[in-house]
Structure 1
Amino acid sequence: MHKFIANTEQDRQDMLKVIGAPSMESLFFDIPENLRFNGELNLEPGYSEIEMMNQLQQLSCLNKSIDQLVCFRGAGAYDHYIPTTIKHLAGRSEFFTAYTPYQPEISQGTLQVIFEYQSMLCELTGMDASNASMYDGPTAAVEAAIMAATIKRKKKIVVSKGLNPEARSVMKTYFHFRDFEMVEVELENGKTNPETLRAAMCPNCAGVIIQSPNFLGMVEDMHALGAVAKETKSIFIAYVDPISLAVLETPGNYGADIVIGEGQGLGNVINFGGPYLGFLATRSEHVRKIPGRIVGQSEDLDGKRAFVLTLQAREQHIRRYKATSNICSNQGLNVLMGSIYMATMGKEGLKEVAKQCFDKAQYTYDKLIATGKFKPAFEGKGFFKEFALVSDVPFEKIDQYLIDNGFLGGFSLAEDYGIEGGHLFCVTEMRSKAEIDRLCSMLEVM
């Protein structure tokens, strides 16, 4: 078997002759002798295809996924039902790419998918325009913040600590190199207090980012928080769960200027963390500041329906150092799955998914407290599908106990929010009453 590159010794000699090199070693003469590796790499012999597949299969069995565990964990990645039509249609060869249509005139199918996706997302969020999508929710938050800073020509962004910790972490990384300032607003009883937000605002603030339902599952008072943002003429950015918008008020109604979020729940599998689907929608007055591209509908010379790239920031391809954004990929395959999901479910289907999430989360919350192992982390039940509980039993003990018994329990809130013994549970439409009851019974006798 050949190592790495399947060529013979004669192939190597022929290539060396063409480039005028005496030996393979001569290709590395520019590297100082003391920096070169001499000898053979300590690698195992090459595997045959059968051996490699067996090895990979054994390694994969070391993981436990939601196929083996009943999932009660969310924290940004959600176990929603994925209709079988999605895998069937997304697997068609003409769709099977995540890359950007750089030759739009021959990419009508891809462009139509993006156009339909943008249309449905605008209807869901109440915004005027949506881009083709971005890498994930955290990068969408970064792009929205940069949009706000560009629009207002200011460099301060106020962020509620209810925003996903991963999104805040990614924002800090980007901001470090753009000389932006990020001010984080503490939560009170699991929510953002409008008065606390007001105290963090100033004339130099470009935008405010509020997540609702927030990372702790609580539905924020977006009308009141948006009003605070408008007091300093800041861009109001709402980070939302698209599933929740089937039953909660649309961001367009409560005055959001930009709407962002993670679209993984729209027909995309959890995939060990990616690739995911970040979305961004905005009002028409900000459309020329939007990152990525927008697909529009037109007519060809024969009067037939045709799709075109209506807007795209050329700087992201050519003058990168002057670009508003360097986002180039539109996560086309993820957009396709999101489009098929929304079209398959329709308004009533999405509403049913959201209603089941809400009802089952409320039921689970009460049942878990009744076990005697948990108490509420916050007052009230103003949550959508995730909720925080606190236990006197160490988190690690409960977590391992549940895994050993076939459950993936809550997400720990100790590191990100300092809530020792804090569990963030998530309940989607996938969980049956029997599964919920079994979880609670297991914890009751723990």
Structure 2
Amino acid sequence: MRYLPHTDEDIRTMFDTIGVSDFEGLFRTVPESCRYDKEMKLPPPKTEWDLNSYMAEIKSMMKITPEHAVLVGAGRYQHHIPSTIPAIMSRSELITAYTPYQPEMAQGTLQGLYEYQTLTARLLGVDVANASMYDGASALAEALLMGIRIGRKKKRVAVSKAIHPHYRAVVDTYFAPTEYEIVELAVAEDGRTDLSSLSAEDGFAAVALQSPNFFGVIEDMEKSAEAIHAADSLFIAAFSEPLAFGLVKSPGSCGADIVCGEGQSLGIPVSFGGPGLGMFGCRDKFVRNLPGRLVGETRDLEGKRGYVLTLSTREQHIRREKATSNICSNQGICTLTAAMYMASLGGTGIRKLAKLNFDKAEYLKAGLQQAGATLCHDAPTFNEFAVRFDSDFKPVQKSLMEQGIAAGLNLSGFYDDMDNCYLFCVTETASKDVLDTVIKEVKK
């Protein structure tokens, strides 16, 4: 979008309207002692073409450009975004929409959020979904706090080590100032969470797993639900790749009580790591403990269908100490984008896309094994997987980068016992030529 500066006449009209004579008048309520009175160290202004050249120069310094093929996932995924999505989202009534506190003025936004809730509930297999959270990591932390609210006197939660390390770090931050205890569950050799310790432990308000987990491994959700419920705990299912549910059973249908995760894959670009979309749903009986906000459908005095915020127990609505969530920001624009994406693909499209991701990842997995790599885990995976190399992979990684392919995430920085192990991710954006190039370089 081009920047169109205000004319002197525009500025004078605005000053006259608000009753000030100059820019200084805008800051008259700020005490002199609180103002910055030094010269701003800013570079001289640039012409529009000079600025474009400068930005192009900065772009050329990027390690990974839009022209690179990216075979790295770990919570952020490269997916094709239909051109209809940015075209519709660029409409002013959608791109500027935020929290619709005045329903009579925001029926379009509210209906869009209502449709998002419906589509999300179907995708995740839950009874009810909220109108989004900040991101997947904070959604998990909020889910665990929700579990503690439901568990009442229980002060402990269990979290799988196969959950994304960044998600676990956010959970640690949330829980650090509280009295609640976090217990980590080990990862078995097949890449799935080891739940054998649950029978010997008690007092867990909730147990959280991720599927597909950080290694791309699909957890046995139905058996996990049985074990967790047998321990008298709530089952929280997290995720970072929602497109997997086009191919594998949804967490809710497998027995999860609360489902939460990252929705970036649903039409939202990677954008240097943000923004994301926190998706969140649960069983109907837990709805009054749900964080965030809900959009409900109702009828007005004339019998016409309308949409309103309901059961929104954020700190703006009630006393701070009674709020179920103190996150002030929801991802309104990202939520509407995800709704458009899910509606555009439909159930059939999501299934086909998930199958394409799975098939391409399996092709690379088999090729790397034939080239000498060893799978770190033998459980089924979705569109990413971890392999171990006998020799140093870094020179190969550097060679691939020079060919425009960013491949593999070194896992040793996240897990001490995974030296020379790399996480690969394949989505529909990776061509067969790219995958064959990676396999060829590993064989050398």
TM value normalised by structure 2: 0.89
Q: Give, in angstroms, the shift of residue 40 of structure 1.
A: 5.4
Alpha-carbon distance between aligned partners in 2 of 1:79 and 1:426, rounded to the nearest angstrom: 9
The answer to whether the Cα contact below 8 Å between 2:405 and 2:434 also exists between their aligned partners in 1 is no
Deviations 1:279-320 (A, max 9, x none): 000001110111111111122333332111122115444522
User: Kindly tell me: are residues 261 and 20 of structure 1, through their superposed partners in 2, closer, same or farther at Cα, counting changes over 3 Å?
Assistant: closer
**Who is 2:300 aligned against?**
300
Alpha-carbon distance between aligned partners in 2 of 1:14 and 1:270, rounded to the nearest angstrom: 40
The residue identity in structure 2 corresponding to 1:409 is A
The residue identity in structure 1 corresponding to 2:284 is S
Q: Give, in angstroms, the shift of residue 65 of structure 1.
A: 3.9
**Who is 1:283 aligned against?**
283
Among 28, 32, 48, the residue aligned to 1:27: 32
**Who is 2:157 aligned against?**
157
The answer to whether the Cα contact below 8 Å between 1:137 and 1:260 also exists between their aligned partners in 2 is yes
For residue 216 of structure 1, give the secondary structure of its aligned residue in structure 2. Answer: coil
Q: Give, in angstroms, the shift of residue 53 of structure 1.
A: 3.8
Q: Give, in angstroms, the shift of residue 263 of structure 1.
A: 0.4
Alpha-carbon distance between aligned partners in 2 of 1:225 and 1:258, rounded to the nearest angstrom: 14
Match status 1:94 vs 2:93 = yes
The answer to whether the Cα contact below 8 Å between 1:391 and 1:421 also exists between their aligned partners in 2 is yes
Please, which runs of 5 or more residues in structure 2 have no aligned partner?
1-7, 13-20
User: Kindly tell me: are residues 98 and 160 of structure 1, through their superposed partners in 2, closer, same or farther at Cα, counting changes over 3 Å?
Assistant: farther
Q: Give, in angstroms, the shift of residue 369 of structure 1.
A: 1.7
For residue 73 of structure 2, give the secondary structure of its aligned residue in structure 1. Answer: coil
Alpha-carbon distance between aligned partners in 1 of 2:379 and 2:251, rounded to the nearest angstrom: 22
Q: Give, in angstroms, the shift of residue 19 of structure 1.
A: 5.8
**Who is 1:3 aligned against?**
none
User: Kindly tell me: are residues 421 and 304 of structure 1, through their superposed partners in 2, closer, same or farther at Cα, counting changes over 3 Å?
Assistant: same
Map 1:184-223 onto structure 2 (within 5 A): 184-189=184-189, 190-199=191-200, 201-203=201-203, 205-223=204-222
Alpha-carbon distance between aligned partners in 2 of 1:50 and 1:66, rounded to the nearest angstrom: 22
Map 1:352-363 onto structure 2 (within 5 A): 352-363=352-363
Alpha-carbon distance between aligned partners in 2 of 1:263 and 1:269, rounded to the nearest angstrom: 11
For residue 238 of structure 1, give the secondary structure of its aligned residue in structure 2. Answer: strand
Q: Give, in angstroms, the shift of residue 110 of structure 1.
A: 0.5
Match status 1:70 vs 2:69 = yes
Map 1:376-387 onto structure 2 (within 5 A): 376-378=375-377, 380-387=378-385
Please, which runs of 5 or more residues in structure 1 have no aligned partner?
1-5
**Who is 2:124 aligned against?**
125
Q: How many residues align?
A: 424
User: Kindly tell me: are residues 45 and 290 of structure 1, through their superposed partners in 2, closer, same or farther at Cα, counting changes over 3 Å?
Assistant: same
Match status 1:247 vs 2:247 = yes
**Who is 2:17 aligned against?**
none
For residue 93 of structure 2, give the secondary structure of its aligned residue in structure 1. Answer: coil
Alpha-carbon distance between aligned partners in 2 of 1:318 and 1:58, rounded to the nearest angstrom: 49
Q: Give, in angstroms, the shift of residue 196 of structure 1.
A: 3.6
**Who is 2:4 aligned against?**
none
Q: Give, in angstroms, the shift of residue 397 of structure 1.
A: 2.7
**Who is 1:393 aligned against?**
391
Alpha-carbon distance between aligned partners in 2 of 1:98 and 1:216, rounded to the nearest angstrom: 36
For residue 94 of structure 1, give the secondary structure of its aligned residue in structure 2. Answer: helix
Deviations 1:2-59 (A, max 9, x none): xxxx999xx779759x9699xxxx923x89xxxx99x756554444554444323321
**Who is 2:415 aligned against?**
417
Deviations 1:384-408 (A, max 9, x none): 1111001133343333222111101
The answer to whether the Cα contact below 8 Å between 2:126 and 2:253 also exists between their aligned partners in 1 is no
For residue 387 of structure 1, give the secondary structure of its aligned residue in structure 2. Answer: strand
Alpha-carbon distance between aligned partners in 2 of 1:279 and 1:234, rounded to the nearest angstrom: 22
**Who is 1:350 aligned against?**
350
Deviations 1:138-174 (A, max 9, x none): 0100110110011112331100011110100001011
The residue identity in structure 1 corresponding to 2:82 is P
Match status 1:261 vs 2:261 = yes
Query: Which shifted more, 385-394 or 298-307?
Result: 298-307
User: Kindly tell me: are residues 13 and 334 of structure 1, through their superposed partners in 2, closer, same or farther at Cα, counting changes over 3 Å?
Assistant: closer
Query: Which shifted more, 406-415 or 225-234?
Result: 225-234
For residue 414 of structure 2, give the secondary structure of its aligned residue in structure 1. Answer: helix
The answer to whether the Cα contact below 8 Å between 1:98 and 1:331 also exists between their aligned partners in 2 is no
Deviations 1:88-112 (A, max 9, x none): 1111100003621111221111011
The answer to whether the Cα contact below 8 Å between 1:316 and 1:327 also exists between their aligned partners in 2 is no
For residue 183 of structure 1, give the secondary structure of its aligned residue in structure 2. Answer: strand
For residue 237 of structure 2, give the secondary structure of its aligned residue in structure 1. Answer: strand
For residue 95 of structure 1, give the secondary structure of its aligned residue in structure 2. Answer: helix
The residue identity in structure 2 corresponding to 1:320 is R
The residue identity in structure 1 corresponding to 2:355 is K
| Runs of 4+ deviating beyond 6 Å | 11-14
The residue identity in structure 2 corresponding to 1:59 is I
Alpha-carbon distance between aligned partners in 2 of 1:192 and 1:326, rounded to the nearest angstrom: 31
Q: Give, in angstroms, the shift of residue 197 of structure 1.
A: 4.3
The residue identity in structure 2 corresponding to 1:285 is K
User: Kindly tell me: are residues 68 and 288 of structure 1, through their superposed partners in 2, closer, same or farther at Cα, counting changes over 3 Å?
Assistant: same
Root-mean-square deviation (Å): 2.6
User: Kindly tell me: are residues 129 and 50 of structure 1, through their superposed partners in 2, closer, same or farther at Cα, counting changes over 3 Å?
Assistant: same
